[in-house]
């Protein structure tokens, strides 16, 4: 059965493929248009630069009238990201609009990496370091950037294990 939400997600996916924003990508999982995997590359000139951060987006049948649940799967140290990967971002909560699509969601999250809001913290430690000790904050972010590279190599080694020998 094709619902409004599913049709809209198909359109979002086509738009994402035809006109991909710089530094983000996303796609539905193989057998479920309501569950997406996404990647955000750390924005240039930020402590997140060169990082590769994985996320999941879970949509309900109420999309686009209700926002998806978006979480970082990759470890994240950021004032607006909860320990469980949940994201404190106005457009995913009280400022949601049905005009937002997957592309807008991902670029907004990438923008949040560039410009954190320490006044609305999800991670108090990150917010405090961001405000009071930028050097230490950037050091902690660099650790998760490096871990994001290890996440990728773990995925590749898992894929290599699953491949048949040639």
Cis peptide before 64 (omega within 30 of 0): yes
The residue among 85, 144, 110 whose CA lies nearest residue 26 is: 110
Euclidean distance between CA atoms 111 and 162, whole angstroms: 36
Catalytic residue among 9, 24, 88, 145: 88
CA distances in angstroms from 89 to 22, 69, 92, listed in the order given: 20, 11, 6
**Is 88 a known active-site residue?**
yes
CA distances in angstroms from 133 to 105, 112, 121, listed in the order given: 29, 19, 16
Catalytic residues: 88
């Amino acid at each position: 059965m094709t619902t409004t939400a599913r049709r809209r997600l198909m359109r979002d996916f086509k738009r994402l493929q035809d006109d991909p924003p710089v530094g983000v990508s996303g796609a539905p999982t193989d057998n479920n248009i309501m569950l997406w995997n996404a990647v955000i590359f750390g924005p240039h000139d930020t402590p997140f630069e060169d990082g590769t951060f994985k996320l999941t987006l879970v949509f309900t049948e109420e999309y686009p009238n209700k926002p998806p649940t978006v979480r970082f799967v990759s470890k994240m140290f950021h004032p607006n990201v909860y320990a469980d990967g949940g994201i404190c971002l106005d457009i995913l909560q009280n400022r949601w609009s049905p005009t937002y699509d997957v592309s807008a969601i991902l670029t907004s999250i990438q923008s949040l990496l560039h410009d954190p809001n320490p006044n609305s913290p999800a991670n108090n430690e990150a917010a405090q370091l961001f405000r009071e000790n930028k050097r230490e904050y950037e050091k902690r972010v660099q650790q998760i950037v490096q871990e994001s590279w290890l996440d990728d190599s773990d995925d590749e080694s898992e894929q290599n294990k699953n491949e048949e020998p040639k």
